[in-house]
Amino acid sequence: MRSSSYLLQTLGLLLLCCTVAANKEPLENAKYKDPKEPLGVRIKNLMSHMTLEEKIGQMVQLERANATTEVMKKYLIGSVFSGGGSVPTPYASPEAWVNMVNEIQKKALSTRLGIPIIYGIDAVHGHNTVYNATIFPHNIGLGVTRDPGLVKRIGEATALEVRATGIQYVFAPCIAVCRDPRWGRCYESYSEDHKIVQQMTEIIPGLQGDLPFGQKGVPFVAGKTKVAACAKHFVGDGGTLRGMNANNTVINTNGLLGIHMPAYYDAVKKGVATVMVSYSSINGLKMHANKKLITGFLKNKLKFRGIVISDYLGVDQINTPLGANYSHSVYAAITAGLDMFMDSSNLTKLIDELTSLVKRKLIPMSRIDDAVKRILRVKFTMGLFENPIADHSLANQLGSKEHRELAREAVRKSLVLLKNGENADKPLLPLPKKANKILVAGTHADNLGYQCGGWTITWQGLSGNNLTIGTHLSSIHSNESSSYSTLGFL
Ligand SMILES: *[C@@H]1O[C@H](CO)[C@@H](O)[C@H](O)[C@H]1NC(C)=O
Ligand SMILES: *[C@@H]1O[C@H](CO)[C@@H](O)[C@H](O)[C@H]1NC(C)=O
Ligand SMILES: *[C@@H]1O[C@H](CO)[C@@H](O)[C@H](O)[C@H]1NC(C)=O
Ligand SMILES: *[C@@H]1O[C@H](CO)[C@@H](O)[C@H](O)[C@H]1NC(C)=O
Ligand SMILES: *[C@@H]1O[C@H](CO)[C@@H](O)[C@H](O)[C@H]1NC(C)=O
Ligand SMILES: *[C@@H]1O[C@H](CO)[C@@H](O)[C@H](O)[C@H]1NC(C)=O
Ligand SMILES: CC(=O)N[C@H]1CO[C@H](CO)[C@@H](O)[C@@H]1O
């Protein structure tokens, strides 16, 4: 009797352990650790070592404040990010950022498989969360420069500044085609004209590096001075009803494919590593639950092979109110083709739901494997396994003179003069060299924070002159070579 109950126990144990990795090869010299092995071999080998828990952990991106040692190790988290305005300390130096990111990275590296995290941040007009970073004009300004080469150089500069802080991933560019200026996030769009938005996807090879000759459409990041980019927000974010943010884009197939989709062709062709899903809906269906467009179009038709990431709590918004019927939301998002959840608030709920959906076979293991393969592909491709820890060697790139000069060039090229005076015979500009008074008007006139707009230090930007450095109004005042003697304020 004893031996049969032992058999039953063993069987039970085996069943319980059905999520244990199949590969029994010793980890010390596992193939995935060898950079000389081809990408496909490394991915396959690592996945053969992974348990369900380790796979699901890779699919979660947490806010830095939640990335405690306990959580990182217990849930085997694959990615961490800085939410809008989330900084190690106010005025943190690039060195302090590097140390913070490395601290979290070391937690990930100390887990069984030692899979490095990828750390993301909204660097949407320069490395805008970071004190003393170069702030470039917003996309709406860059669009009017009609200069894709300039935008590519801005991508290169931004990548260096982001790497200066130890970060490897940016949630940019926004390739929305803003069709209604009432949309509050219109400034994040290069243009209402999809052709201009398409040209400006040149920022992607700027951020990530140029795809090697002959390669097309594979996620690519050229090493330690480049960052993974993110085309967002897939798709139709700039086409919502009356410009209402994250609302419904009512459109037929021709409109969708002709206006909002074209820039995704360019982004994928140029090797964009990730795509972020939009909070908005298409014809009443939340994009986070849209299988036809995420899997059917982006993954199958455009052959996108990188990571599809949610927007923050985007999955919680599939059902209303926020967080309702969460099990269904997780199911719908994964079934639609989502690979990574940006979600800090409901970590244990998310992991429990996802695990349970897989164990109940409502989500096939093949879907989880597709997601994990994409995440690992990006991590291996960008050299994260070889270079997970950042050093301080790029610190002087943050806010460098060269980058500030590039920003000035962009500002000059983005200025738009709609009308110069009453008529061409009586132009108002240039202003006369000698004038007694000049009126500088408006709440933004003496406010660098306001002038920099949203996504500057914090999510919605800031007021005042304390946290941004730049050409201050007083410098016009004090400019000895100008003859303006009085400045008026409103
Ligand atoms: C659009 O906005 C309206 C008004 O706030 C809201 O009732 C509706 O649910 C929104 N639709 C979507 C798809 O978000
Ligand atoms: C959750 O959503 C599913 C699918 O829409 C639906 O069948 C189910 O009734 C919902 N459950 C609750 C509690 O709302
Ligand atoms: C995440 O961090 C924030 C800020 O520290 C905290 O308020 C929140 O409770 C944390 N959430 C979880 C799930 O740990
Ligand atoms: C800003 O960065 C530049 C270039 O790295 C550096 O020279 C300068 O000291 C920094 N300024 C502040 C206030 O940190
Ligand atoms: C800006 O700095 C000044 C001088 O240090 C201080 O008095 C003021 O409160 C600061 N303003 C903000 C918004 O932090
Ligand atoms: C001061 O005026 C001169 C001549 O107009 C100009 O070249 C220079 O850029 C100005 N400096 C500043 C800080 O505005
Ligand atoms: C499913 C769930 O609990 N969602 C919650 C996630 O966190 C946000 C913000 O804390 C809540 O509002 C949601 O209800």
Q: At what angle do helices 347-359 and 326-336 cross, to 10 degrees?
A: 70
The span from the CA of 309 to the CA of 334, in Å, is: 11
Rounded Cα–Cα distance for residues 357 and 336 (Å): 14
Which one of 345, 347, 350 would you pick to mutate in the ligand 3 pocket, going by the greatest count of ligand atoms within 8 A of its CB? 345
| 224 Cα: distance to centroid of ligand 4 (angstroms) | 22
Q: Are 385 and 116 in contact (CB under 8 A)?
A: yes
Could you check whether the bond before residue 321 is cis, i.e. omega within 30 degrees of 0? yes
Indicate whether residue 319 lines ligand 7 (CB < 6 A): no
| All structural domains of the chain with their residue ranges | 37-397, 417-488
Q: Tokens 């090879």 identify what position? A: 205
The ligand that comes nearest to the alpha carbon of residue 80 is: 3
DSSP assigned state of 308: E
Residue found under tokens 């962009």: 410
Residue 294: the pLDDT is 98
How many Å lie between the centroid of ligand 7 and the Cα of residue 84?
Answer: 18
Q: What is the CATH number of domain 37-397?
A: 3.20.20.300
Cα–Cα dist 343/323, whole Å: 12
Nearest CA to ligand 1 atom 6: 247
Counting atoms of ligand 1 from 1, which one is nearest the CA of 248?
13
pLDDT computed for residue 151 by the predictor? 98
Rounded to whole angstroms, the Cα distance separating 376 from 43 reads: 6
Ligand 1 contact via 240 beta carbon (within 6 Å): no
For residue 132 and ligand 4, the question of a CB distance below 6 A is answered with yes
Residue of the CA atom closest to atom 10 of ligand 7: 345
Is the CB of residue 281 below 6 angstroms from any atom belonging to ligand 1? yes
Q: List all residues 6 or more positions away from 425 whose beta carbon is below 8 Å from its beta carbon.
A: none
3-state secondary structure of 264: helix
Q: How far apart are CA 485 and CA 489, in angstroms?
A: 13
pLDDT tens-digit readout, 85-142: 999 999 999 999 999 999 999 999 999 999 999 999 999 999 999 999 999 999 999 9
Mean pLDDT by 10 residues, the chain (490 residues): 48 47 85 97 98 98 97 98 96 97 98 98 98 96 98 98 98 98 98 98 98 93 97 98 98 98 98 98 98 98 98 97 96 98 94 98 98 98 98 98 96 92 89 76 86 94 86 59 44
Which ligand lies nearest the alpha carbon of 86? Answer: 3
Q: Which atom of ligand 2 is nearest to the CA of 332?
A: 4
DSSP string of 322-384, one letter each residue: TTTTHHHHHHHHHHHT--BEE--TTHHHHHHHHHHHHHTTSS-HHHHHHHHHHHHHHHHHTTT
CA–CA separation, 291 vs 443, rounded Å? 46
Residue 132 Cα to ligand 4 middle (Å): 6
Q: What one-letter code names the amino acid at 116? A: P
Alpha-carbon distance values, 453 to 215, 444, 447, 468, 469 (Å): 37, 10, 10, 11, 14
User: Residue 19: what pLDDT?
Assistant: 54
Query: Residue 72: what are its φ and ψ, rounded to 5°?
Result: -60, -40
Q: Does the C-beta of 96 come closer than 6 Å to ligand 4?
A: no
Identify the nearest ligand to the CA of 246 by its number: 1
Amino acid at the residue 75:
Y
% the chain with pLDDT above 70: 92
